[in-house]
Amino acid sequence: MTLAGGARRPTPAELAAAAPDLPLLLYDGDCAFCSAQAERARRLSGGRVRVEPLQIALERVPWLPREEALRALQLVDRDGRTYAGAGAIARLLRLTRPVLGTLALAYHLPGVRWLAERAYAFVAARRYAIAGSGGACATGACAPPRAELANGHGSPRLEDRDRHA
């Protein structure tokens, strides 16, 4: 069965194998902006959530497609359920910070999810520009292809990113 965002339900064997590492927050380790935000998430979680680059940890959650993991931050919960983008941030807050987690419940109110996902997509599309070049990305993956820049988009196509991953 395929879930929202392209992830499928894990098999019982897959979930059992991944269980020691869950909950797991996956981010793009080739992106300087993503890496900085992941460090904040690591501190915020206080060890309650494992935070790892998708380039290292994705093999432990084979039910999550690589394309989805590159598209947005992913949080894989203890039951194998996957949250992406703003939903992953809301779930992270629920798991790690009771007060902020209660406020994160607003994410589920009508219109708030739509707005949060649009805001997340806006930042995600510009994450490479936000991080700046400044030599922060050794592989060159943080620099969007020239065609993307010419079209006014700040995020490279996945097939271009995969060449660097």
Residue 5 structural domain: 1-165
Rounded CA separation 115/110 (Å): 10
pTM reported for the whole predicted model: 0.74
Number of domain units in the chain: 1
Q: What is the mean pLDDT of the chain?
A: 80
- What's residue 51's pLDDT? 97
- Residue 114 tokens read as 């739509």
Across 1-10, 37-46, 101-110, 132-141, the highest mean pLDDT is recorded for 37-46
The predicted-structure confidence for 110-123, as pLDDT tens digits, reads as follows 899 999 999 999 99
Contact 17, 23 (CB under 8 A): no
In percent, how much of the chain has pLDDT > 70? Answer: 76
Q: Residue 11: is its pLDDT beyond 90?
A: yes
The predicted-structure confidence for 66-77, as pLDDT tens digits, reads as follows 998 988 999 999
- Residue 12 tokens read as 């019982």
- What's residue 126's pLDDT? 84
- What's residue 116's pLDDT? 93
Average confidence (pLDDT) over 75-97:
94
Report the chain's terminal Cα–Cα distance, integer Å: 28
